[in-house]
Amino acid sequence: MADMATRTSPAPKRTSSSKTGAPAGRSGSSAAKSGRSGSSGGSARTRQLPAVEHRQPWLLRVAGGAWLGIGHLVGGGVRRIGQDVSDLAPEDRRDGAALFNLALAVFIATFAWWGLRGWFPDAVYAVVNGTFGWMSLVLPLMLFVCACRLFRQPVDGRGNNRVGIGFLIMTFAGCGIAHIVGGQPTVSEGFDGLRQAGGMLGFLAASPLAAIHPAVPVVLYGLLAFVSVLIVTATPFGAIPRRLRGAYEHLMGVDLQENDGDAHDRSYLDENSRPAPKKKRKRLFGKDEEADPRLEGYVGDEAFEHAVIDDDDPSPGASKGTPAVAPGVRRPTQAEIAVEKIKAAQGLGTKGADAENATEAIPLVTPGMAGAAAVPGATPGAAVQVPAKPVAPAPLPTPIPQRTEQLSLAGDVTYTLPSSDVLTPGSIPKERTEANDAVVAALTDTLQQFNVDATVTGFSRGPTVTRYEIELAPGTKVERVTALSKNISYAVASSDVRILSPIPGKSAIGIEIPNTDRETVSLGDVLRSQNARRTDHPMVMGVGKDVEGGYVVANLAKMPHLLVAGATGAGKSSFVNSMITSLLMRATPDEVRMVMVDPKRVELTAYEGVPHLITPIITNPKKAAEALQWVVREMDARYDDLANYGFKHVDDFNKAVRAGKVQPPVDSKRVIRPYPYLLVIVDELADLMMVAPRDVEDSIVRITQLARAAGIHLVLATQRPSVDVVTGLIKANVPSRMAFATSSVTDSRVVLDQPGAEKLIGQGDALFLPMGASKAMRVQGAWVTESEIHKVVEHVKGQLQAVYRDDVAPEAQKKQIDDDIGDDLEVLLQATELVVTTQFGSTSMLQRKLRVGFAKAGRLMDLLESRGVVGPSEGSKARDVLVKPDDLAAVLAAMKGQEAPATADSQTAALSDNANANIAQGGYAEDLVAADLDNRTQSIEYYDGADTAGDDEDGSEDAWSLTGR
Ligand SMILES: Nc1ncnc2c1ncn2[C@@H]1O[C@H](COP(=O)(O)OP(=O)(O)OP(=O)(O)O)[C@@H](O)[C@H]1O
């Protein structure tokens, strides 16, 4: 157990400057000035470490080296067993201490277990046995466990301490019990007597209590021993049955849940009845309705409900916004800041595995620090030269608890959600690195240089950025700091500095500066966080991590529609992937169905065939527009049901259906089933808006205005957040926004109605503005790898086949040429072309240009009016032309009864289709595209000479960019 209960951070490292005695750099001046705190006697400069380090005798060094060498050898072997933790960074290893525990375990075992004799073993045995009595038999085991932990998880300081403390308590309690059971020997019986019971420790622990009654220590220490087992195994009291069950399953190799026939039925009843606060039940079915437990869960919309599921457990220290420095604690002097910085650099701390509640800003001075101003080598320059501490591998995560109910699907199918281990844990989040300390020094320097009376009081390190907190002295204006934004950027060598004034909920200015050592946020960790576990709502997704290091999860049903925007490469598709994977991890196809629109054709293909899809992934923008119209129809159908049966929300309806309270009309054969949530994901809205802007906008607006109650939710992603794509109407109806880095402040305003997104640093760095929030929250998006997605998709597809509806995006049917056109198609096409290109709807012009009689020209004009090309007759005036030259090709195709290849985009898509097919056949895609482009140019020339050049340019660009992707 040596070393287990005390150490939480790696051994202090010598800074490179301390070896060389390097002078303090730019920031060193602050430390030099800080000598004014002076209480510890002298400035930091005078206390620098001597340039020549003190060397130990060679024999000791050889012995130490040999010991460590053996430690690394054994440690390497131990780490290779079982899960792969062999990639520990050298400075994270604690093989020397681990080997010591192991050696001690073996040594004690040799005489306690195997009876080795000799003067030395006998002497040690007498001491160990005399101290711990019978517990000396268990000691080797405990030491062995400690050694293994230290070999395998040296960076899990918190876990190691827990195990160490647990074993200490266990030893103490065990000795106490052994003392009573062993007949309560007295000291007068000497060590020989004590050894036959609980040893000296047992005597000290139990004899005072035994004076009351011998049962007292037995009961008390029995309980303590039980508690120590819980501590060692990290088992919360409530989790004991689950742990026992898990252990049994593991040992016996069985799955109790599978064998539990009852669980199935029970779970079906329990479906959706999460423990909800008991509130007065809403009356759904009139006065004489019977209380139905399955209806208890629904409480309708809640006051102040919001999309983000956050930590509503106000446990001390767990809350966000805890002051960086406790009230009453004086603010640190510059010297103290420098000293703390050096200390941190010498022993960089990492968060333990359970970092999710550690959202406090790190105070830069603690009460105990006062007066500790001078530490050898205490120069900021020294601090920043310490080599970076590499990210340590995360300890194994606690699995996401499987939902307690078996998931029963319509048709009596049992569906198992993917297991949590398909999503791998991410790296252990760092709480503080030397990069942070260097920034603190730079900020402090900048404030001093400009004579601003303000102090950097702490910081919260997130995965992408760290928010440094600055407190102003009374009488100092906030503007004095905000005006320094450019100087701060210069000092920290980053153009992406964002100033928050104030930090919401705090009297402090926040300065967000990108970490030079960013950390990836794994989706698995987000979904395993307490926030995600708090609910099993199927629409909950892992969003990422905020600046304070807290996990952000959100309920898509509460958003209720989301706009995701950002420049190319900013992280939109990764976010969409995390969102879909979250849903696949947590929801059955009966709970959530999806429509995926992927005009880019590559982003969502991994999900093809998952049973949650209602239609194959739609890649053709025109079909996508049709699918949106289907969604509107579906929404209307749901609304009809809600209205007919008297419900306000589909959740109510579903609960009533499950309770058998909703019956179809007597003469109807309809089987009423609960409606799943329907999530419509559009990965590039711009492509849809190019094809049919009005139709798409109409559908989106209608869906977004009404669909919440119908359980239909939209996620619209775009890399072109311009006003012609994200129109005012769409924006007004999509209340939640996720803005990744945008290329301009204008784009940021389009997405968020405020600047900020242009300052983001890309690759998943985002501002999340859920519905109702006044300030955007900065998050680093969750990351899910392709192989994880693949595993999840494979699992899901293995559970159930996708059953597609064929009415969502129907195959285009060949239209017949309308009867009323008859044999006049050719001349009608010419007339259309003429009218549209000239934008002049005159019958006499048709007569002249087409050389037809008055009657025929009049008939042609009537046909044009019936097809919406021209407006109604206005006496002798020319008619209004309603079709723009751009849309001519589409109109002509429609008249010919063809699928309209009218717009540049749909032509491009077709080209890309051909190109892909050609690639598959080993042909030359680019030649084909070029050839097709030529054809297209000609055909456009044929229709509209004037506009050809412009159209061609656009079309060419799109075509090349599509095939280039
Ligand atoms: N949350 C994240 N964590 C880590 N890296 C990320 C994250 N999100 C994105 N990235 C990085 O950024 C790259 C681009 O991301 P992504 O493809 O999602 O961008 P995009 O906005 O969809 O771009 P485009 O619009 O061109 O498709 C990814 O390949 C990945 O390397």
pLDDT tens-digit map of 285-308: 333 333 333 334 334 445 445 566
d(CA 43, CA 41): 7
Q: Is 549 in the pocket of ligand 1 (CB under 6 A)?
A: no
Please indicate if the annotation marks 772 as binding a ligand: no
pLDDT confidence of residue 717: 92
Instruction: Tell me if 903 sits within 8 A of 892, measured CB to CB.
Output: no
Q: Look at residue 540 and tell me whether its pLDDT is greater than 70.
A: yes
Q: Is 433 in the pocket of ligand 1 (CB under 6 A)?
A: no
Interface predicted TM-score (ipTM) of this complex, two decimals: 0.97
Q: Is 781 in the pocket of ligand 1 (CB under 6 A)?
A: yes
Work out the pLDDT band at 39, boundaries 50, 70, 90: very low
Q: Which residue has the higher pLDDT, 13 or 783?
A: 783
Sign of the dihedral defined by the CA atoms of residues 838, 842, 844, 850, in that order: positive
Please report the atom of ligand 1 found closest to the CA of residue 576.
18
pLDDT confidence of residue 671: 82
Tokens coding 423:
């999503």
| pTM for the predicted model, two decimal places | 0.52
pLDDT confidence of residue 818: 63
Arithmetic mean of pLDDT over the chain: 71
Q: List pLDDT tens digits, range 119-157.
A: 887 888 888 888 888 888 888 899 998 888 888 877 677
Q: 879-903 burial, b for 16+ CB within 10 Å, e for fewer?
A: bebbbebebbbbbbebbeeebbbbb
Q: Is 526 in the pocket of ligand 1 (CB under 6 A)?
A: no
pLDDT confidence of residue 74: 82
Give residue 784 CA to ligand 1 midpoint distance, Å.
Answer: 11
Q: Look at residue 21 and tell me whether its pLDDT is greater than 50.
A: no
Q: Is 961 in the pocket of ligand 1 (CB under 6 A)?
A: no
Q: Look at residue 162 and tell me whether its pLDDT is greater than 80.
A: yes
Work out the pLDDT band at 366, boundaries 50, 70, 90: very low
Nearest of 385, 334, 411, 308 to residue 44 by alpha carbon: 334
Nearest of 258, 417, 260 to residue 799 by alpha carbon: 417
If you classify domain 550-799 with CATH, what class do you get?
A: alpha beta
Fold of 822-896: Arc Repressor Mutant, subunit A (1.10.10)
Give residue 573 CA to ligand 1 midpoint distance, Å.
Answer: 6
- Helix (H) / strand (E) element for 542: namely strand 540-546
331-388+416-514 carries CATH number 3.30.980.40: yes
Instruction: Tell me if 470 sits within 8 A of 454, measured CB to CB.
Output: yes
Work out the pLDDT band at 916, boundaries 50, 70, 90: very low
Give residue 438 CA to ligand 1 midpoint distance, Å.
Answer: 29
Q: Which range among 80-84, 438-442, 498-502, 624-628 shows the weakest confidence by mean pLDDT?
A: 80-84
Work out the pLDDT band at 580, boundaries 50, 70, 90: very high
Mean pLDDT of 528-553: 88
Mean pLDDT of 456-461: 88
Q: Look at residue 942 and tell me whether its pLDDT is greater than 60.
A: no
Q: Which residue has the higher pLDDT, 407 or 867?
A: 867
Give residue 724 CA to ligand 1 midpoint distance, Å.
Answer: 24
Q: Look at residue 696 and tell me whether its pLDDT is greater than 50.
A: yes
Q: List pLDDT tens digits, range 543-564.
A: 999 888 889 999 999 888 999 9
pLDDT confidence of residue 736: 92
Q: List pLDDT tens digits, range 69-98.
A: 888 888 777 777 755 454 555 656 778 888
Q: Is 570 in the pocket of ligand 1 (CB under 6 A)?
A: yes
Give residue 355 CA to ligand 1 midpoint distance, Å.
Answer: 25
Q: Which residue has the higher pLDDT, 796 or 431?
A: 796
Please report the atom of ligand 1 found closest to the CA of residue 566.
21
pLDDT confidence of residue 196: 82
Q: Is 572 in the pocket of ligand 1 (CB under 6 A)?
A: yes
Mean pLDDT of 860-867: 87
Our mutation pick for probing the ligand 1 site, out of 518, 520, 573, counting the most ligand atoms within 8 A of Cβ, is: 573
Please state whether the peptide bond connecting residue 275 to the residue before it is cis, i.e. omega within 30 degrees of 0: no
Please indicate if the annotation marks 71 as binding a ligand: no
Give residue 962 CA to ligand 1 midpoint distance, Å.
Answer: 18
